[in-house]
């Protein structure tokens, strides 16, 4: 009886290990070309988009950001704003309605004078 079980168990274990190894290799090869969130990465850029890909109908820039093209080197007289946030800063809100886009001086909403408001 134990001989029959052993005769069945050995090929089943070899098949399971081989299948797992081939699946792992396939995931790692595909991750090299199309990064997957399933595989862990210590890279600083692990959550950055793929440059020039489309995200919710908006084409990401060459740096992988959901923004228009910009120069990394800051020119004199340039005013930059750092935006921190959750999924509303990057993700669920379409680019043209995002609060960071509305803060840019090129947008008509930012160019209009703001009315004074009190913070309650």
pLDDT digits (tens, 9 = 90+) for 2-42: 778 878 889 999 999 999 999 999 988 888 887 766 666 66
Mean pLDDT estimate for the chain: 77
Indicate whether 5 and 52 sit together in one domain.
Answer: no
Q: What does DSSP assign to residue 59?
A: E
Determine the structural domain holding residue 90 and report its residue range: 48-112
Residue 99 lies in a domain: yes
Number of independent structural domains in the chain = 2
Half-sphere exposure of 77 (CA within 13 A, CB side): 0
Tokens representing 105?
């001086």
Indicate whether 23 and 52 sit together in one domain.
Answer: no
- The position carrying tokens 């001989």 is 3
If one counts every other C-beta atom within 10 angstroms of the C-beta of residue 68, the result is: 12
Residue 31 lies in a domain: yes
Indicate whether 18 and 59 sit together in one domain.
Answer: no
Confidence band, pLDDT 50/70/90 cuts, at residue 115: very low
Residue 117 lies in a domain: no
| Higher-confidence position of 119 and 96 | 96
Indicate whether 33 and 74 sit together in one domain.
Answer: no
Residue 119 lies in a domain: no
Residue 3 lies in a domain: yes
Of 44, 60, 76, which residue is a domain's last? 44
Residue 15 lies in a domain: yes
Indicate whether 57 and 9 sit together in one domain.
Answer: no
Alpha helices in the chain (DSSP H): 2-33, 99-102, 108-111
Residue 120 lies in a domain: no
């Amino acid at each position: 009886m134990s001989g029959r079980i052993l005769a069945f168990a050995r090929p089943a274990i070899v098949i399971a290990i081989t299948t797992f190894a081939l699946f792992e290799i396939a995931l790692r090869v595909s991750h090299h070309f199309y990064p997957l969130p399933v595989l862990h990465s210590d890279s600083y850029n692990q959550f950055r988009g793929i440059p020039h890909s489309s995200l919710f109908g908006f084409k990401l820039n060459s740096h992988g950001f959901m923004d228009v093209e910009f120069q990394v080197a800051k020119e004199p007289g340039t005013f930059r704003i750092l935006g921190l946030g959750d999924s509303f800063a990057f993700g669920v809100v379409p680019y043209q309605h995002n609060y960071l886009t509305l803060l840019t001086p090129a947008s008509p909403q930012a160019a209009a004078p703001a009315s004074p408001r009190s913070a309650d």
